[in-house]
Amino acid sequence: MAYDYDLFVIGAGSGGVRAGRLAAMTGAKVAVAEEHRVGGTCVIRGCVPKKFMVYASEFAHHFKSAEGYGWSGLEGASFDWKTFISAKDIEIARLSGIYVTNLQKAGADLVHARAVLKDAHTVELLGKDQTVTADKILVATGGRPVRPTIPGAEHGITSEEAFHLESLPKSILIVGGGYIAVEFAGIFNGLGSEVTLLYRGPNILRGFDEDVRVHVAAELEKRGVKIVLATEHDRIEKTDEGLVSHFSNGISVCTEQVMFATGREPYVKGLGLESAGVELNERGAIKVDEYSKTSADNIWAVGDVTDRINLTPVAIREGAAFAATVFQDNPTTYDHEHVATAVFSQPPIGTVGLTEAEARHKYDKVDIYRAIFRPMKYSFFGGEERCLMKLIVEEAGQKVVGVHMVGPDAPEIIQMAAIAVKMGITKQQWDQTTAVHPTAAEEFVTMREKYVPPELGAI
């Protein structure tokens, strides 16, 4: 049977655009459907605008440290939210335009519509009164923020709206303990909002190394973020003074805004997956094999909708592996091990490999190397900030299996460390690397003393 397209991609985000572009470049007839804006979460309402907000919010800290270096006259400096938001929006529109151009240059058709599966080869384009057929389909619809169902939840915002607020809130309660919550706590705090971070677990950043979690929480508090842990958010009441949030510990907090950063879920609702024979796993994500193929023979899925590792570079690599396998006659799987990641908290985190707890679980014995120090920039005028660096080495083979850092430039530094970890570097090889001086990163290659956590001291 002749189909309208060789490949129909649903979703023009990180994964869909990369896969669609590479497939179209092989000469395949490709269409990419997007219901919102081309670029997806990362470009429109994720990584990119968030990083601009982080940059904007860091100036307050820079100004403060500038005083220590003899600068004055910065006391009255003020921030204009509207100026920033419009500059940010112009840049986001430019980037989205580049994605559109790249798709078009590759020869793919871009369809501005919500696409819904009718069967394994037929896609309905909502609002266009049109259906198209395709030999192969790629689902790359990403994820969505999860909103809690507590009374008054409709008064709160998520990260989606945080990028478009009319004004900078004087005060904000951020609910959640994951990386998005922590990043926005730093952003709003830096810009001058009074920030309370509420999380129901024992500490923020579940899944990160324990030392990193403790360190970041302490640094956030030093910068003025109020952190409330092990407490539930029961309800929100809208009053003339603001939004009153009632906590399970009996305390109430009144803030101008409440932001939910309470997790994300695969965006599969109303997509017609059942009519195409595409199964979900127990987490509600599309079930795929190592080639990103779903339970339907001609349908693949990549990115956040598969809930493997929900990061842009991972979605891109999964999309590229799909295109290589299906359109370049080159079966390719993407290796999800040792994916480095950054949290743009203030100070930021860079991490790759296992946490100490994971390493202790996996290996008989592990060696830990750890350093906590004042970054050079703050050394002579008493800045409070501390930098954390940690190496985890499995004892038997001396392989470096985890690298963690909290401090200035950690995201940049971890990218390079990730190459070494991915290559299976040993501690000895790591130590043979000569330091770059004076940097913070040099601390990583000069850590010689093993660190024994106090709780293991007696062993």
Ligand X SMILES: Cc1cc2nc3c(=O)[nH]c(=O)nc-3n(C[C@H](O)[C@H](O)[C@H](O)COP(=O)(O)OP(=O)(O)OC[C@H]3O[C@@H](n4cnc5c(N)ncnc54)[C@H](O)[C@@H]3O)c2cc1C
Neighbour tally for 55: CB within 10 Å: 14
The CB-of-282 to ligand X minimum distance in angstroms stands at 20
Binding site for ligand X (CB under 6 A): 10-16, 33-36, 40-42, 46-47, 50, 114-115, 140-142, 159, 180, 267, 271, 303-305, 310-313, 315
User: Is 437 annotated in the active site?
Assistant: yes
> What is the chain's length?
459
Residue that is written with structure tokens 């100004």 in the block: 63
In angstroms, the Cα distances linking 215 to 64, 195, 205, 412 are 21, 18, 11, 19
List, in sequence order, the alpha helices (H) in 107-178. 159-162
Contacts of 306 (CB under 8 A, 6+ apart): 266, 285, 286, 288, 292, 318
The four Cα atoms 295, 301, 302, 308 give a dihedral, to 10 degrees, of: -30
Active-site annotation holder among 36, 233, 404, 437: 437
* Cα–Cα distance, 55 to 48 (Å, whole number): 11
* Cα–Cα distance, 388 to 8 (Å, whole number): 46
3 state DSSP class of 210: helix
Please give the biggest Cα pair distance in the chain: 75
Q: Give the DSSP letter of residue 377.
A: G
Residue 384, classified by CB atoms within 10 Å of its CB into exposed (0-12), middle (13-18) or buried (19+), is: exposed
Q: Give the DSSP letter of residue 243.
A: E
The CB-of-140 to ligand X minimum distance in angstroms stands at 5
The CB-of-8 to ligand X minimum distance in angstroms stands at 10
Contacts of 106 (CB under 8 A, 6+ apart): 20, 21, 22, 24, 25, 30
The CB-of-49 to ligand X minimum distance in angstroms stands at 8
The CB-of-242 to ligand X minimum distance in angstroms stands at 24
Looking at beta carbons only, is 142 or 353 nearer to ligand X?
A: 142
Task: Point out the residues that are catalytic.
Answer: 437
